[in-house]
Chain A
């Protein structure tokens, strides 16, 4: 499964739009600092008429999907209501809560603030994409073991933000985890358990890297 297209896409600068769409400060900033941010470019957007359905191919969790969409449909709407990928949740539809966080080219982004058309040509990973068949991914497993959720509704978004944070490969202190996860709200208030889960996942990840 190809996760990133940073090598294919030389543009690593941050446009105003991608900045707005980025998750919180933490995860996106960490990614930018390590040079992995591959922003969606305005130049790629074609002009589309509101009432005309557009053909679109989306790369989601390593597979290509051909769809017909209205230009105004968000990536969130298409993932949930048209593709049945309801692990990505809807919380505010205005880029405030992070429940809809997905990875676009490995970087956490709010799917509610991304038009489906804009996401064409990029690698999208949803929470379903972290699974290996029926087996949980390591971040998901860490959330399970540390009870890093309560109602579970913000959880897929939290997990994707954590996944992005870990993929940026920066060493993480608790303060950095707090900052990195600050773009994702949890009204049940599971934050301190989320910190523990991210710490555990980071530890497991660095342990794995250290293996011969």
Chain B
């Protein structure tokens, strides 16, 4: 039995890495036994069997259901709320609104700390359609919605502006007292753009627009809130339990220790679930008032109106290039809107322009404006896909003008350091060049271009290939993060970390790190995560920083467990702990092979019951930039009669440092490309800007996300893994966001190659393409 257990827990014959001296960080992995392999998720069973309990699945005894009444106008002042009829309806336990001041705390908006704005949970001045006005708790959701419909609200309907390009026009309705611009226009400049343009052989200027996208994760936003006396527990569908705890504690004026947030599973967020929502606080208020647990899960329509978006951006880009492909100048400006509150409308839009290619003369100007629409939330690589839509189409256009292969033009301008950061720090690693070279090779780029060039087009179908590159400003992660690894007396392991697994496979990757360091099989590791009451501090899972943040902390904790284990084993074996190594669940001396002991037989461990290793995320390297890079290639077919684009194949060459789990790595790549296809082809929030100002497409039927029919049957991931000993102790960089940055631009460039039409605006719907094809036909 004993032997069986050992074999079950540990893989025999696998050496684990050297144990560093106390105080030293572990050395980079050389050969790995577990990291980088294709390993199915350790929580896959729960997710495919239906046993995983997501926050919206939770059913508690005596639980009530909440629902929110939202303002139906893009801009209106609430003059009065009459809840008398609603309160008397069957099953209704509580109704709250701006007329119940004890249940209307403050609520803050901010643009990444730059600008803050305080309002109320039930704000009388409704600056967007979907602003909460009142809320109900009832015995069934049906009864809650009945009551919501019975609430009478008197609105003073105000003039609105729903068109970001008209927000600053004279006479535009004011959304905030100080006007409709969010702070100052942000300016950046290096070198001399005019000089750069003068030096150029070719100058191209184009305007680009990207439509507003909505996150629409499959699990609706929401939570279950429950009070035990003055202790509040919230089960929230979130990317970060600690930020939710903070937001709720702040809104309700509670100590952090009185708010426990649990989010073990969550059904997608893409940046829209990084923090608490108004709905979280409303659920807590309703639960306090009724002294019962309250489940408040938004309707799909509410999530369209009020849980964030990728801001619409209008961009201008002027670029200069020499005949040999040297970039001489990039002059960029944009106008964008994060909706009715400060929410980062222009956040990071110019970053790729500033930092992706070597260019001495760069200028950027970004203006963020208010419109009467739902506030933005970060969406998968905020700003970057928009900026790449402009820059990467511009690179394509420049290459065409100077008669150069677009891959070669990019290769001509590869920087080894970050030009946009102060002090021009070098990258710890950059695989941009390798992504382009290797990607082109595996895709068959030159051959495909040649073949298509020689083809005589048949019928109405045209074929084309496109390339685009990208980088992600974050993706290096960093402190703080604390994790615990516990080694039980039978040799099995518990890993305790605060980070959420948002579907990226975080838990599995972390189990693999422990497995690599201790030799224990990943499936033998129990994981406790995303619970402010019982797990360690972690920032929200987002920004493609979860693996590079958490994996080094997990590695440090596992190494610490090994060090403590060696100390206990050394006293039993009467030897020096530094002479010990671990293999197959057995601690042995390097010098004297007769000195060995199985983990489960170490008396110190038996006595203690458990060894607890604490791991912290160390600092990032100084004066270095840690960024992931990408180059993507695709082939499309365009039907010139219908305007339909069929994406035939996609290849993503990604430098995200070390591949941690090849299976979930591939999943991230196909997911990012699929979302990028949405930006390119189908997604656009439509506001009735000249009519009612209301959201027109407020469901998945009218706002189209890619389906199984919109993606190629195969998407190839090509990992580029430059050695990176500096980034962190695992050599990993983020993946989830960089994979969606170049995608839309790559498709646009392929469409240009196929049709000769440069599509400047997203989405490239059949209607838009048909119009452009017709215009081109007229030009002859």
Q: In this assembly, does A15 line the interface, its C-beta being within 8 Å of a C-beta of chain B?
A: no
A155 CA / B48 CA spacing, docked (Å): 6
Q: In this assembly, does B558 line the interface, its C-beta being within 8 Å of a C-beta of chain A?
A: no
Cβ contacts under 8 Å, B56 to chain A: 89-90
Q: In this assembly, does B53 line the interface, its C-beta being within 8 Å of a C-beta of chain A?
A: yes
Are A92 and B300 interface neighbours, CB within 8 A?
Answer: yes
Q: Which residue of B lies closest to A74 (CB)?
A: B142
Cβ contacts under 8 Å, A175 to chain B: 713
Most chain-A CB neighbours within 10 Å: which of B51, B297, B673? B51
Q: In this assembly, does B670 line the interface, its C-beta being within 8 Å of a C-beta of chain A?
A: yes
A141 CA / B44 CA spacing, docked (Å): 9
Chain B's nearest CB lies how many Å from the CB of A132?
11
Are B711 and A191 interface neighbours, CB within 8 A?
Answer: yes
Q: Which of A136, A159, A178, A187 contacts B218 (CB 8 A)?
A: A187
Q: In this assembly, does B503 line the interface, its C-beta being within 8 Å of a C-beta of chain A?
A: yes
Q: Given the interface contacts A87-B50, A189-B674, A195-B713, does A182 sit within 8 Å of B503 by beta carbon?
A: no
Q: Which of B53, B142, B300, B670 contacts A189 (CB 8 A)?
A: B670
Interface mask (B640-670 → A, CB under 8 Å = 1, otherwise 0): 0000000000000000000000011011101
Chain B's nearest CB lies how many Å from the CB of A162?
11
Interface mask (B417-456 → A, CB under 8 Å = 1, otherwise 0): 0000000000000000000000000000000000000000
Q: Which residue of A lies closest to B716 (CB)?
A: A192
Q: In this assembly, does B712 line the interface, its C-beta being within 8 Å of a C-beta of chain A?
A: yes
A144 CA / B49 CA spacing, docked (Å): 10
A193 CA / B664 CA spacing, docked (Å): 10
Q: Which residue of A lies closest to B501 (CB)?
A: A151
Which residues of A from 167 to 212 have beta carbons under 8 Å from B? Answer: 174-175, 177-179, 181-182, 184-195
Q: In this assembly, does A119 line the interface, its C-beta being within 8 Å of a C-beta of chain B?
A: no
Classify the secondary structure of A's interface with B. Answer: loop
Q: In this assembly, does B416 line the interface, its C-beta being within 8 Å of a C-beta of chain A?
A: no
Q: Which residue of A lies closest to B295 (CB)?
A: A81
Cβ contacts under 8 Å, B199 to chain A: none
Q: Given the interface contacts A86-B50, A192-B715, does A147 sit within 8 Å of B706 by beta carbon?
A: no
Interface size grouping (class) on chain B = 35 or more
Interface size grouping (class) on chain A = 35 or more
Q: In this assembly, does A42 line the interface, its C-beta being within 8 Å of a C-beta of chain B?
A: no
Q: In this assembly, does B40 line the interface, its C-beta being within 8 Å of a C-beta of chain A?
A: yes
Are B219 and A84 interface neighbours, CB within 8 A?
Answer: no
Q: In this assembly, does A91 line the interface, its C-beta being within 8 Å of a C-beta of chain B?
A: yes
Starting from the known contacts A145-B40, A178-B708, A191-B674, 5 additional A-B residue pairs (CB-CB under 8 Å) come to: A80-B59, A93-B300, A147-B505, A147-B667, A189-B706
List 10 tightest A-B contacts by C-beta distance, closest first: A87-B50, A189-B674, A153-B267, A151-B503, A152-B47, A86-B57, A150-B503, A189-B671, A127-B50, A96-B700
Q: Which residues of A contact B (CB under 8 A)?
A: 51, 70, 72-73, 77, 80-81, 84-94, 96-97, 99, 126-128, 131, 136, 140-141, 143-145, 147, 149-156, 159, 174-175, 177-179, 181-182, 184-195
A selection of 30 A-B contacts at a CB cut-off of 8 Å is A77-B141, A85-B50, A86-B50, A89-B56, A89-B219, A89-B267, A91-B219, A91-B300, A97-B300, A127-B48, A144-B40, A144-B41, A144-B45, A147-B40, A147-B41, A149-B44, A152-B52, A152-B265, A153-B268, A154-B218, A155-B48, A156-B48, A156-B50, A175-B713, A178-B708, A182-B707, A187-B217, A190-B670, A191-B670, A193-B667
